[in-house]
Amino acid sequence: MPSLDVAGNILMMVAVIGYLLGTIPAGILLARVMGLGDLRSIGSGNIGATNVLRTGSKKAAALTLLLDAAKGAAAVAVGYAMGGELAAQVGALAAMVGHCFPIWLRFRGGKGVATYFGVIFALAWPAGLAAAVIWLATAAVGRYSSLAALLAAGWTPIAAVFLGQGQIFILGCILGLLIYARHWANIQRLRKGTETKIGAKSA
């Protein structure tokens, strides 16, 4: 069993690696490579898949979604490889923070939804599946990506407990709070009825 110093060093390394993985701006890079322009000057200016969709490229949006989720899953995998369950959860949190507050973009990152799904699926796939079902059902009915994300993030920790994945409950609550914080402006627009629906090209 590693000493406390060694364990602490491992967790620190996982946190740094997870953060750096999270900072990879997949949406911006894809938009540039595919000739879609500067993503930060399009739609809401967000770097995530929902805003990439506003460029009109479903392919770019799908790739952004997959890559943002993949970097979260990769951070969890690194954590498991280096230190087990606790390290995996540290990697998950670090990846989320990296995506939302990337140093390369002056800490102006995305809202973390795709990365959230990536880390939840990697940590506890039944809970990840529950989150996906909640998101898809809400998005299909209301056509609001933000509302779907908020409900998924809010209910997933509870679903995890019922599915026997209680080890991620606390982390799920922390990540959920981060999702809500990053969606604060969306929450206000939802209340006013001015929120943009999925697929709309305007902000």
pLDDT (tens digit per residue) in 112-135: 999 999 999 999 999 999 999 999
Residue 151: both structure tokens together: 């409900």
8 Å CB contact between 167 and 76: no
Q: Which of 89, 87, 109 is nearest to 97 (CA)?
A: 109
Classify 2 as helix, strand or coil.
coil
What DSSP state is assigned to residue 164?
Answer: T
In this prediction the pTM is 0.91
Site of tokens 């939802």: 190
Centroid of chain to Cα 84: 21
Residue 148: both structure tokens together: 């779907």
CA–CA dist 154, 135 (Å, integer)? 11
Classify 14 as helix, strand or coil.
helix
pLDDT of residue 117: 97
pLDDT, one tens digit per residue, over 51-78 is: 888 888 889 999 999 999 999 999 999 9
pLDDT of residue 49: 87
CA–CA dist 81, 107 (Å, integer)? 28
Percent of the chain with pLDDT over 90: 75
Q: Which of 77, 44, 48 is nearest to 63 (CA)?
A: 48
